[in-house]
Amino acid sequence: MNVFNQISIWLSFQLSIIFLIGIPVALSFWSIKKRNKAVIKLLSIYWKISLLFFISLLLLIGKYNYALFITNISTLLMTVSIWFWNDINDELREYNFSYSLATTTKIWRWAVTFISFNFLIQSLQNFNCFSFINSAACSIWLQPSSSLYIFIKNLFNFFFGANFTQPMAKFLGLFSLLIFILGLIQWSIIKLPKNGRNSFFSENGRN
């Protein structure tokens, strides 16, 4: 793997932290302050789907062979989740450019889309890493999760006085993945046929 590719992968992870975590957190607080139901609903759906991204980070820490594949699935699902809803899309289109919350949300959606597809393209350049992340050629994909592993390990030791290991991360990641898949299947079978592409953001008490 050449140096340019290594820098590109590192930069992609840094941008992911900003646009997949940092900006959505800021938008969540901003939308609550503005009491904008459409953006609040959009972000609440996004955070539910983004759980898979955090699960994939646990699997990367645990060096699970298919962790990179799951990471790509998570970013693609996150992208779909912020464009899928007709009523939210219609609501955002009604705001003009001067309404900064809606404008920032629109720009953020395009940024997430770009990052998601850029991440996929980079991953496809190292296609073998989809199924064998532990090979020497794929080590660059594990480096960003190493810093997270150290942080979680220290935090876990501070609060519980126990050691957080990579096998533990793998187990927690796989268990969480199972719960996520079951929840996604339930939504696909029950809610999707009933609600379609409507989020019902304007109806109190309806999810």
- For 42-97, write each residue's pLDDT tens digit: 999 999 999 999 999 999 999 999 999 999 999 999 999 999 999 999 999 999 98
pLDDT for position 180: 97
Kindly tell me if the per-residue pLDDT of 207 is higher than 70.
no
- CA angle, residues 24, 70, 159, in degrees to nearest 5: 65
pLDDT tens figures, 89-113? 999 999 998 899 999 999 999 999 9
Global pTM reads 0.89
For residues 207 and 205, give the distance between their C-alpha atoms in angstroms, rounded to a whole number: 7
Eight-state DSSP code of residue 161:
S
C-alpha–C-alpha distance, residues 76 and 117, integer Å: 8
